[in-house]
């Protein structure tokens, strides 16, 4: 294995834009036509020519130390990482999910890459590598308050969105800092938080997803490179939606994001996460951890649109997405809402969970998971009811097409002390074509009698009558399927913030492209 000194700053500059597409899709027909015209090519499949600064491939204590040093971390953070790394060495990769993939060689992955131009930290967005900004523009990210606010701000108090963009492993630009600071909200990269707010990070990191949690989370603890940190002080309603766009860029670079959100008493925040990744032939590993701490009467909404590169029609390439997301409703009446639209990745392994500890706390999970071609998704949630009068609701819509396998896996657990609690679960699966699979694996554990738990699941195919009706109104088959599927997903789409809902709707159509006829 290459030692630390062999680094020789590998520069990987490859590829170019293969299709100059317009960005930021609306839900209109034009989008669908555009994508159809691309005949199954992944829409965001380019990569940007930005110099990457790599650590050598493979994982060792040296790499962990390097990552920590590159982020200028204090000693305690490094120790925490090393402890996780040593624990990880003794763990085995979980294989219980209904996904098949070749063994991952953890020594054949880069654990650190950052855009070269970041060596000098930009003072403002103006200093940011213009190519980077152009990349974001292609992705339709309203990073520079550009499209989003320039055009809209004049109109009566538009909704604002702050973006903490993560390009590969380092947060390159955080907008709206001033306005957020005025409200007392801290929104920055986690590496910055480790330096600037060590007391908060130290107190909360690993308190929801402990370093011993699971193989991928432990790996993340050891090598997380960057991610977002959000702190909403007591009684503050975050003045805008917070948004992070992730984008894996360099080939063979695993991305290990770590997000920590803390909502103090009576506060509120809505957090958006969306991602796309460029087309590559080698599988890329992504093992993120998201921790959310919610105190008394606070509320957090976490919305995700996940559109990592799913691999080609034969399943070649594509992202392996092994994510641990968990919210801890620590205070009474705390509320959390996970909403996810999962359309990308070759493999998805993701179970955003709610620990309902506070009395009367509430967890919700709304999910759309679409698997097409050779994609495999095993996703769901865990609702762990510990406190009295807790409520949870799960609405999961799984869509399988092509040769894809889509599994809902969930846990609802009512502990003996969680009296008078309530859960409602609905998971519906839709099959498009006879080569795909849809599976439901719920675990239901009820240990008191005053709680009510209801679970229902259905599996069916796209309704012929509905399709026929759409066709008779002049739609082509693909449009008709997109419309019917969007209707099937309606319950979840409605739970998304406005701008995400639009994008998600378009994504649903795009993801199913090529699945009919």
Partner 1 sequence: MAAPQAKLDALAARIAGLSFPVAGWLGAARADALDRLAAMGLPGKRDEYWRYTDPAALTGAVPLAAALFDESDEAVAFSGIDRVKLVFVNGVFDTAQSDDPALAGVEIEHLADAGAADIHWAREVYGVLETRGQTPVQRPLATLATAFATGGLLIRATGKAAKPVSLIYLQGSDTSDVILHHCIKVESGAELTLLENGNAAARLTMVMEVEVAAGGRFHHIRAQGRAHQRHAATHVFARLGAKALFKSFTVTANGALTRNDAVIELVGDDAVAHVAGAAVGDGAFHHDDTVFVTHQGLRCESRQVFKKVLKNGATGVFQGKILVKKGAQKTDGYQISQALLLDDDSQFLAKPELEIYADDVKCSHGSTSGAIDDTALFYLRSRGVPEKAAQSLLVLAFLAEAMAEIDDADIAEDIRARLESWLARHEH
Q: Give the separation between CA 95 and CA 345, rounded to whole angstroms.
A: 18
Strand 52-54, strand 113-115: pairing: antiparallel
* Residue pair 294/336 in contact by the 8 Å Cβ criterion: yes
Q: Which of 461, 471, 473, 490 binds partner 1 (CB under 8 A)?
A: 461
Write down the least CB distance from residue 450 to partner 1, Å.
6
Q: Give the separation between CA 95 and CA 214, rounded to whole angstroms.
A: 12
Q: Does 477 bind partner 1 (CB under 8 A)?
A: no
Q: Does 442 bind partner 1 (CB under 8 A)?
A: yes
Q: Which of 82, 104, 147, 441 binds partner 1 (CB under 8 A)?
A: 441
Question: Which is closer to partner 1, CB of 259 or CB of 407?
Answer: 407
Q: Give the separation between CA 317 and CA 448, rounded to whole angstroms.
A: 47
394: closest CA among 439, 433, 426?
Answer: 426
Q: Give the separation between CA 490 and CA 302, rounded to whole angstroms.
A: 18
Local structure of residue 374 (DSSP, 8 states): T
Write down the least CB distance from residue 413 to partner 1, Å.
9
Q: Which stretch binds partner 1 (CB under 8 A): 9-17, 300-308, 459-467, 476-484?
A: 459-467
Residue count, binding to partner 1 (CB under 8 A): 36
Binding mask 410-429 for partner 1 (x = CB under 8 A): ----x-x--x---------x
Q: Does 455 bind partner 1 (CB under 8 A)?
A: yes
Q: Which stretch binds partner 1 (CB under 8 A): 40-48, 71-79, 151-159, 444-452?
A: 444-452
Write down the least CB distance from residue 454 to partner 1, Å.
5
Question: Which is closer to partner 1, CB of 148 or CB of 453?
Answer: 453
Q: Which of 14, 107, 460, 494 binds partner 1 (CB under 8 A)?
A: 460
Q: Which of 125, 448, 466, 516 binds partner 1 (CB under 8 A)?
A: 448
- Assigned token pair, 161: 């969105």
What is the maximal distance between C-alpha atoms in the chain? Answer: 67
Question: Which is closer to partner 1, CB of 78 or CB of 457?
Answer: 457
Write down the least CB distance from residue 124 to partner 1, Å.
53
Write down the least CB distance from residue 355 to partner 1, Å.
19
Write down the least CB distance from residue 457 to partner 1, Å.
5
Q: Does 49 bind partner 1 (CB under 8 A)?
A: no
Q: Which of 27, 208, 438, 507 binds partner 1 (CB under 8 A)?
A: 438
The phi and psi torsions of 252 (rounded to 5 degrees) equal: 65, 15
Q: Give the separation between CA 211 and CA 371, rounded to whole angstroms.
A: 30
Q: Which stretch binds partner 1 (CB under 8 A): 44-52, 337-345, 349-357, 451-459?
A: 451-459
- Sequence-ordered alpha helix ranges (H) in 49-91: 61-70, 75-89
- Sequence-ordered alpha helix ranges (H) in 414-497: 464-472, 477-488, 490-493
Q: Does 263 bind partner 1 (CB under 8 A)?
A: no
Coil vs helix vs strand at 150: helix
Q: Does 432 bind partner 1 (CB under 8 A)?
A: yes
Q: Give the separation between CA 172 and CA 262, rounded to whole angstroms.
A: 22
Q: Give the separation between CA 455 and CA 394, rounded to whole angstroms.
A: 9
The phi and psi torsions of 188 (rounded to 5 degrees) equal: -150, 180
Write down the least CB distance from residue 449 to partner 1, Å.
3
Residues making contact with partner 1 (CB under 8 A)? 96, 414, 416, 419, 429, 431-461
């Amino acid at each position: 294995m290459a030692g630390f000194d062999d680094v020789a700053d590998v520069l990987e500059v490859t590829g170019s834009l293969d299709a100059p597409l317009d960005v930021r899709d609306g839900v209109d027909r034009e989008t669908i036509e555009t994508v159809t015209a691309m005949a199954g090519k992944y829409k965001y499949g380019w990569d940007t020519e930005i110099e990457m600064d790599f650590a050598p491939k493979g994982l060792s204590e040296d790499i962990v130390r390097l990552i920590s040093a590159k982020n200028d971390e204090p000693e305690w953070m490094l120790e925490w990482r090393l402890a996780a790394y040593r624990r990880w060495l003794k763990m085995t990769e979980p294989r219980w999910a209904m996904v098949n993939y070749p063994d991952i060689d953890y020594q054949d992955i880069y654990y650190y890459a950052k855009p070269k131009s970041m060596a000098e930290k930009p003072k403002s967005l103006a200093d940011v590598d213009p190519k980077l900004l152009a990349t974001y523009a292609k992705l339709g990210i309203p990073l520079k308050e550009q499209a989003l606010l320039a055009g809209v701000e004049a109109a009566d108090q538009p909704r604002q969105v702050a973006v903490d963009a993560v390009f590969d492993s380092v947060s390159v630009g955080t907008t709206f800092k001033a306005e957020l600071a005025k409200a007392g909200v801290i929104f920055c990269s986690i590496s910055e938080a480790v330096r600037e707010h060590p007391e908060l990070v130290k107190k909360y990191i690993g308190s929801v997803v402990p370093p011993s949690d699971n193989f991928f989370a432990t790996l993340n603890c050891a090598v997380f490179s960057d991610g977002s940190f959000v702190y909403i002080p007591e009684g503050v309603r975050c003045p805008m939606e917070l948004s992070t766009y992730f984008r894996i860029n360099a080939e063979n670079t695993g991305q290990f994001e770590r997000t920590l959100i803390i909502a103090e008493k009576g506060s509120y925040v809505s957090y958006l996460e969306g991602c796309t990744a460029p087309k590559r032939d080698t599988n890329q590993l992504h093992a993120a951890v998201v921790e959310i701490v919610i105190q008394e009467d606070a509320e957090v909404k976490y919305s995700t649109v996940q559109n990592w590169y799913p691999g080609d029609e034969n399943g070649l390439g594509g992202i392996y997405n092994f994510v641990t997301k968990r919210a801890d409703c620590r205070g009474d009446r705390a509320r959390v809402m996970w909403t996810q639209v999962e359309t990308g990745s070759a493999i998805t392994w993701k179970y955003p969970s709610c620990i309902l500890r506070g009395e009367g706390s509430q967890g919700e999970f709304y999910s759309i998971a679409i698997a097409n071609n050779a994609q495999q998704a095993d996703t769901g949630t865990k609702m762990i009811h510990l406190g009295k009068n807790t409520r949870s609701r799960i609405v999961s819509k799984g869509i399988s097409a092509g040769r894809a396998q889509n599994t809902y896996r969930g846990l609802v657990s009512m502990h003996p002390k969680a009296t008078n609690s309530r859960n409602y679960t609905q998971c519906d699966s839709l099959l498009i074509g006879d080569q795909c699979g849809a599976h439901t694996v719920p675990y239901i554990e009820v240990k008191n009698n005053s709680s009510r738990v209801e679970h229902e699941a259905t599996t069916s195919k796209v309704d012929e009558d509905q399709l026929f009706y759409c066709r008779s109104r002049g739609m082509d088959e693909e449009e008709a399927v997109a419309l019917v599927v969007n209707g099937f997903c309606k319950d979840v789409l409605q739970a998304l913030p406005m701008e995400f809902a639009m994008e998600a709707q378009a994504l649903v159509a795009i993801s199913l492209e090529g699945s009919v006829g």
